[in-house]
Amino acid sequence: MNAALMTMTVVVGLGLVYVLLPLVVHTFQRYCSKRILQCPETQETVQVEIDPRRAAFSSAFGRPLLRVTNCTLWPKRKGCHQECTRSA
């Protein structure tokens, strides 16, 4: 029983290290930099920053959840729906 539990623990651990960790690190690096996008509401070219920690953590469970943390149109349009994240 202990050998089976140990084997399962090792397999899960290796899966985390070799599959999940690279995915999370890649997603974090991808969203670390500022992005230049077109705002779908105003049609202006804007520079946005996306929360890389949230994107990386959520990518471990599926599609990354993107949230804008800074935008060149803020604070005037801070309450927007962040539709620009669909093209980020």
- The domain total for the chain is 1
* pTM of this structure: 0.77
15, 17, 20, 25 alpha-carbon torsion, rounded to 10°? -170
Which residues, other chains included, contact 2 with Cβ-Cβ below 8 Å and sequence gap of 6+? Answer: none
Range of the domain at 18: 2-87
Report, as an integer, the average pLDDT of 37-48: 92
Confidence at residue 28, expressed as pLDDT on a 0 to 100 scale:
96
Report, as an integer, the average pLDDT of 61-84: 90
Distances (CA, A) of 30 to 59, 73, 88: 12, 22, 10
Q: Which of 77, 31, 76 is closest to 57 using CA atoms?
A: 31
